Amino acid sequence: MEFTISNHRKYRYLYKPLLIGLAIDLILLIIGIWYYDLNFEKALKVLLALLVGQSILSYIPLLTFYWNYWKENKDSVLEINPDSGTFVFTGEKKIIEFYREDIEKVILHMSIPARHGRTIILFWHDFFYAKIFTAKGDIIVTCLLCDTITEYVPEDKVEKTSSHFAHAFPK
């Protein structure tokens, strides 16, 4: 299986949250026009206020996460052969080939609600990345590159960690 930053993952982690946020703003605007009998000029001011508030609360963190994750794996390709347990990571400056047995440790950086299995309300809580340590080198696999990485690595070597916004900057 070959993993790259696909349109499906772009949609899941960027376009879908943006569209949902815009739909919520438009629904609130329609309710405001209907319930409060706002004229068009006031409705546009309300929409602008909703968009500014939505930007501060949701869009700016979402775009920050997306940009950092995209930047980390933009030219990367991860090839996984589950049958033989072979991994080939081709990054911007390195190519690392290793086997499932060569994995020393996997640190899964995620949000606090995602780590504890709580309900995820904010869009950026879906983002996570895995830092895979091998004898041949370390690699970072973001959810934009492969959001099913935990299915391919040994469960006993996965260490989950979380903190507020620390998983925004893969390092």
Q: How many residues does the chain have?
A: 171
DSSP string, the chain: -EE---HHHHIIIIIHHHHHHHHHHHHHHHHHHHHH---HHHHHHHHHHHHHHHIIIIIHHHHHHHHHHHHHHTT-EEEEETTTTEEEEE-SS-EEEEEGGGEEEEEEEE-HHHHTTPPP-SGGGG-EEEEEEETTEEEEEETTT-TTGGGTS-GGGEEEEE-TTGGGS--
> Tens digits of per-residue pLDDT, 25-74?
888 778 877 777 777 787 778 788 888 887 787 888 888 889 999 999 99
Q: Please tell me the distance from the alpha carbon of residue 36 to that of residue 25, in angstroms, as a whole number.
A: 16
Q: Which domain holds residue 163?
A: 1-171
> Tens digits of per-residue pLDDT, 132-170?
999 999 999 999 999 999 999 999 999 999 877 666 677
Q: How far is the CA of 107 from the CAs of 2, 6, 47, 161, in angstroms?
A: 22, 23, 42, 7
Eight-state DSSP code of residue 107: E
> Tens digits of per-residue pLDDT, 81-122?
999 999 999 988 889 999 999 999 999 998 888 887 777 777
Count the domains in the chain.
Answer: 1
The model's pTM is: 0.82
